[in-house]
Amino acid sequence: MEATETDINTSLTAEILAIAEARAVSEGLQGNTLTRHRSAIKALTDTLNGSTVRLVRPGRWVSLYAREPSTSTLTSNMKFVASILEWTEARGYPQADFYLRIAHAIRQALAVKA
């Protein structure tokens, strides 16, 4: 079934948190790094749990820093999330393609900002 504009993924934040944990274990990351990743993911919860179709569009991510007063923190959060999602590509995650499309949308939005 194809996603529509209004399809909402309310569990995406939880999925990405689990991926961040798996990545931390796999790469032996220190506790502070995982804590920062968790904070970044949680800061973007409203966006991540939005329309699945819009998540893969750079405009969705550009609109975040267009309205946020603290863009450096938001930019860092977006980079953390993109990095975590990109990590799934080589790990055989079932939704790795979807995660990678979100990561590419984030990276494109960040490139527009630069």
Residue 114: per-residue pLDDT: 64
Q: Could you tell me if residue 6 is inside a domain?
A: no
Report pTM: 0.85
Q: Could you tell me if residue 26 is inside a domain?
A: yes
Q: Which range of residues forms the domain containing residue 68?
A: 12-113
3-class DSSP string for the chain: CCCCCCCECCCHHHHHHHHHHHHHHHHCCCHHHHHHHHHHHHHCHHHHCCEHHHHCCHHHHHHHHHHCCCHHHHHHHHHHHHHHHHHHHHHCCCCHHHHHHHHHHHHHHHHHHC
Could you tell me which residue, 7 or 73, shows the higher pLDDT? 73
Q: Could you tell me if residue 1 is inside a domain?
A: no
Across the range 87-94, mean pLDDT stands at 92
- The total domain count for the chain is 1
Q: Tens of pLDDT along 6-53?
A: 455 668 999 999 999 999 999 998 778 889 889 999 999 888 888 888
* Mean per-residue pLDDT of the chain: 86
